[in-house]
């Protein structure tokens, strides 16, 4: 009833204001078209949620129509399971006529709700960024200048300094004042929140529109999943074969044979493992929360226990229902282990890779510095369950060990299991729950390491480190924000949000196209790779710290609204929402983490603005190192054309840390080994000291060239040197 009455007031007041020649800031808190958005008016009370509310958006149609839902559209059923709005929300304020976009930034802000003792000290006022004005709807859109705190209440306020297109100050909608005087529960809470704004910050008389909104519980499910692992993890190590441990000096070849892939065997080059003494294989058990019928983790109310693990068909004696065997291998350094065992680096590989890919090409550097390297087969990777490794010894005997893949043929997928089948869910979920399940797998690995005192190998259970590359940094951010026992981590090519990666990065845009196509939202014809921003969609993406953009791209607004729905859902497993908990605001029971961020100029796969976003959210600029590929390419342009089979674009700088091409190009070898040695030396200090990687650079470069830098300012724009060689 209130919604219908408020709508009538809005129409009446709008008509009167237009007759008077005034531009007003629309106020219809239950609306997705007028806003302001977000608003707790679009929620219901729910005691089963930590925040006390649950989202209650009106149903949206099959497609995203900016005339009906410009703020967010699609996936309403999934969004209505959440207990609050995104910690990275797309803000919307609409007007009765055009406004001056240049007055938006200083007139709209986000303010923590004061007067709530249970929330502790409120944070600072948050400015807006990435501003866009859409003339067709007379709506302004923006993002917060920083990631908001989870499970917190905020005011979105609009000040009377905002001007219309004629330079006249925008007025308040009469419906706004009527709301503040009414007995409607939302309006009363809004009035109370405004009454508690300190006068030193702003005079409430200058506010012409406002909304009250609550942010979601972004990390709660994963925190609960870790507690589940603590309580239920079986202390079991299953042998991969007999023997399961091999001296590399006694081997002539190692070959991984992926099952159900249609691919030839993948050789593991012994020449890349010069400082490795042994390789060992095994399985441990991990609770499976990923539904194999849709690739998603079921959503449960945040103030109730999470749903238990989902049984899947597995073979093996004594495997509890809901647990799955996870394959791992460990490269052990040559020589005798130190007292207590070798310190251990867990390597998180990227999307589409496997446990025998990138981890192989950093293991020697880590072993030289005394570290063992462990990699697991992550969710949705490793192809079929029948994958094996054949090891040929010096006597010509072939030893076969089982390394079952985690690939899942989701509904709609047919034929052979692909490199990421079961990791990329259909629709808005995409890689969100693959990342969360992999973080759970790593919780289970770490618990097993502790319970078995090193997996039955000469490994130290008390010296655990982590390296993540690309997607390995995505789930690595989740792992390190929640897991207290990892001492220090290197996150290489980390970036978020994952949805923004799908909007901007060359390797991610196919996922964006796949998401938009069923809703009929592709707005431009396909074009060559060189024009990748027009490869079927152009959403007029707004970069940080730019002047406001006036939308002039047909079809861009519904695409933005569709991406916002996915971005909001993705916060449950996105590195951007977890990054603040690495250092700035650690979660309960987790110490502040030591994190080294490595990233490079002109990254094609996780673009610099997305990498900067995660570093900024983690307050990690002082512990980040930026590889200047642009400067290195001046003297060695061959770096711009380093390719990998099956990848239709140059792989540098994104994959420079550890990939099969490291030893093919001398210039790349020098730079890659410098990054690796920086990571190893950082771990050797226990995460207390981050060395300068330029000190480890060798010919054809010199340390004096300063090709690695602590960025004085984080890059916020695209800096693609070249799209194709």
Q: Where are the beta strands (DSSP E) in 50-95?
A: 53-55, 91-94
φ, ψ for residue 707 (rounded to 5)? -80, -10
pTM strictly above 0.85 = yes
* Mean of pLDDT values over 252-258: 96
What pLDDT score was predicted for residue 531?
62
Q: What pLDDT, in 10s, does the model give residues 96-115?
A: 999 999 999 999 999 999 87
CA dihedral (246, 251, 257, 258) positive or negative:
positive
What totals of helices (H) and strands (E) does the chain contain, helices first? 15, 26
What pLDDT score was predicted for residue 17?
44
User: Rounded CA gap, 291 and 434, in Å?
Assistant: 10
- Continuous segment of H or E residues that includes residue 139: strand 139-144
Closest CA to 300 of 500, 479, 436, 147: 436
φ, ψ for residue 239 (rounded to 5)? -70, 145
- Continuous segment of H or E residues that includes residue 124: none
Q: 10 Å Cβ neighbour count for 592? A: 11
The answer to whether 495 and 716 have CB atoms below 8 angstroms apart is no
9 pLDDT band (50/70/90 cuts)?
very low
The residue behind tokens 């978020």 is 496
Q: What pLDDT, in 10s, does the model give residues 281-306?
A: 999 999 999 999 999 999 999 999 99
The residue behind tokens 């990227």 is 350
* Mean of pLDDT values over 481-487: 97
* Mean of pLDDT values over 150-178: 96
Written as six digits, the tokens of 167 are: 């330079």
What pLDDT score was predicted for residue 16?
46
* Mean of pLDDT values over 357-363: 97
Q: What pLDDT, in 10s, does the model give residues 556-608?
A: 999 999 999 999 999 999 999 999 999 999 999 999 999 999 999 999 999 99
314 pLDDT band (50/70/90 cuts)?
confident
Contacts of 682 (CB under 8 A, 6+ apart): 488, 490, 596, 689, 690, 691
Written as six digits, the tokens of 514 are: 């796949």
Q: Does residue 118 carry a pLDDT above 60? A: no
Task: Between 350 and 525, name the one with better pLDDT.
Answer: 350
CA dihedral (560, 569, 153, 582) positive or negative:
negative
The answer to whether 648 and 509 have CB atoms below 8 angstroms apart is no
What pLDDT score was predicted for residue 15?
45
User: Rounded CA gap, 628 and 633, in Å?
Assistant: 9
What pLDDT score was predicted for residue 59?
80
Q: What pLDDT, in 10s, does the model give residues 208-223?
A: 999 999 999 999 999 9
User: Rounded CA gap, 112 and 349, in Å?
Assistant: 38
Q: What pLDDT, in 10s, does the model give residues 673-719?
A: 999 999 999 999 999 999 999 999 999 999 999 999 999 999 999 88
The answer to whether 407 and 440 have CB atoms below 8 angstroms apart is no
Helices 556-570, 509-516: axis angle to 10 degrees equals 110
What pLDDT score was predicted for residue 122?
64
What distance lies between CA 690 and its chain's CA centroid?
A: 24
Q: 10 Å Cβ neighbour count for 462? A: 15
What distance lies between CA 509 and its chain's CA centroid?
A: 15
The residue behind tokens 């499976």 is 288
Mean pLDDT of the residues in the chain = 92
């Amino acid at each position: 009833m209130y919604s219908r009455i408020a709508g009538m007031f809005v129409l009446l007041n709008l008509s009167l204001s237009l007759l008077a020649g005034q531009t007003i800031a629309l106020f219809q808190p239950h609306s997705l078209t007028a806003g302001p958005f977000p608003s707790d008016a679009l929620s219901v009370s729910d005691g089963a949620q930590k925040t006390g509310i649950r989202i209650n958006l009106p149903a949206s149609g099959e497609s995203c129509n900016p005339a009906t839902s410009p703020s967010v559209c699609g996936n309403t059923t999934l969004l209505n399971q959440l207990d609050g709005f995104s910690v990275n929300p797309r803000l919307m304020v609409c007007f009765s006529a055009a406004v001056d976009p240049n007055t938006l930034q200083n007139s709209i802000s986000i303010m923590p709700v004061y007067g709530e003792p249970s929330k502790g000290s409120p944070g600072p006022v948050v400015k807006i960024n990435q501003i866009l004005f859409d003339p067709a709807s007379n709506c302004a859109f923006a993002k917060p200048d920083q990631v908001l705190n989870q499970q917190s209440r905020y005011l979105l306020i609009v000040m009377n300094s905002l001007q219309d297109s004629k330079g006249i100050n925008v007025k308040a909608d009469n419906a706004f004042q009527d709301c503040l005087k009414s007995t409607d529960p939302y309006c009363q809470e809004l009035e109370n929140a405004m009454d508690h704004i300190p006068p030193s910050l702003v005079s409430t008389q200058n506010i012409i529109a406002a909304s009250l909104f609550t942010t979601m519980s972004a990390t709660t499910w994963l925190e609960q999943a870790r507690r589940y692992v603590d309580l239920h993890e079986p202390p079991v190590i299953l042998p991969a074969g007999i023997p399961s441990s091999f001296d590399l000096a006694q081997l002539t070849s190692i070959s991984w044979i992926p099952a159900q892939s249609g691919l030839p065997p993948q050789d593991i080059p012994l020449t890349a493992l010069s400082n490795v003494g042994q390789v060992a294989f095994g399985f441990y058990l991990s609770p499976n929360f990923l539904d194999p019928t849709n690739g998603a983790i079921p959503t449960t109310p945040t103030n109730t226990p999470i749903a238990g693990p989902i049984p899947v068909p597995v073979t093996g004696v004594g495997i509890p229902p809901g647990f799955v065997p996870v394959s791992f291998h460990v490269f052990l350094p040559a020589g005798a282990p130190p007292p207590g065992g070798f310190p251990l680096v867990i390597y998180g590989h990227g999307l589409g890779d496997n446990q025998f890919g990138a981890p192989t090409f950093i293991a020697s550097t880590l072993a030289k510095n005394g570290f063992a390297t462990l990699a697991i087969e992550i969710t949705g990777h490793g192809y079929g369950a029948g994958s094996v490794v054949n090891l040929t010894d010096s006597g010509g005997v072939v030893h076969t060990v089982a390394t079952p893949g985690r690939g899942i043929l989701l509904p709609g997928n047919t034929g052979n299991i692909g490199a990421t089948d079961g990791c990329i869910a259909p629709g808005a979920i995409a890689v969100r729950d693959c990342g969360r399940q992999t973080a759970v797998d790593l919780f289970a690995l770490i618990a097993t390491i502790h319970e078995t005192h090193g997996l039955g190998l000469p490994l130290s259970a008390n010296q655990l480190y982590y390296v993540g590359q690309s997607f390995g940094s995505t789930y690595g951010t989740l792992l390190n924000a929640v897991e207290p026992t990892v001492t220090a981590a290197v996150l290489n090519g980390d970036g978020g949000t994952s949805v923004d990666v799908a909007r901007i990065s060359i390797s991610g845009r196919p996922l964006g196209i796949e998401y938009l196509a069923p809703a009929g939202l592709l707005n431009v014809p396909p074009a060559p790779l060189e024009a990748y921003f027009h490869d079927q969609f152009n959403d007029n993406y707004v970069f940080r710290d730019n002047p406001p953009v006036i939308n002039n791209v047909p079809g861009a607004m519904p695409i933005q609204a569709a991406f916002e729905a996915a971005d909001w859902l993705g916060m449950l497993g996105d590195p951007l929402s977890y990054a603040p908990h690495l250092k700035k605001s650690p979660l309960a029971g987790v110490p502040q983490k030591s994190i080294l961020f490595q990233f490079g100029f002109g990254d094609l796969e996780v673009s610099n603005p997305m990498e900067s976003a995660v570093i900024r959210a983690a307050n990690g600029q002082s512990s980040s190192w930026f590889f200047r590929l642009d400067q290195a390419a001046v003297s060695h342009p061959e770096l711009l054309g380093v390719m990998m089979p099956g990848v239709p674009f140059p792989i540098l700088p994104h994959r420079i840390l550890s990939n099969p091409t490291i030893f093919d190009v001398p210039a790349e070898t020098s730079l890659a080994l410098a990054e690796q040695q920086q990571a190893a030396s950082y771990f050797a200090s226990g995460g207390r000291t981050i060395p300068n990687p330029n000190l480890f650079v060798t010919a054809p470069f010199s340390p004096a060239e300063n090709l690695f830098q602590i960025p004085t300012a984080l890059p916020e724009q695209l800096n693609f040197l070249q799209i194709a060689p």
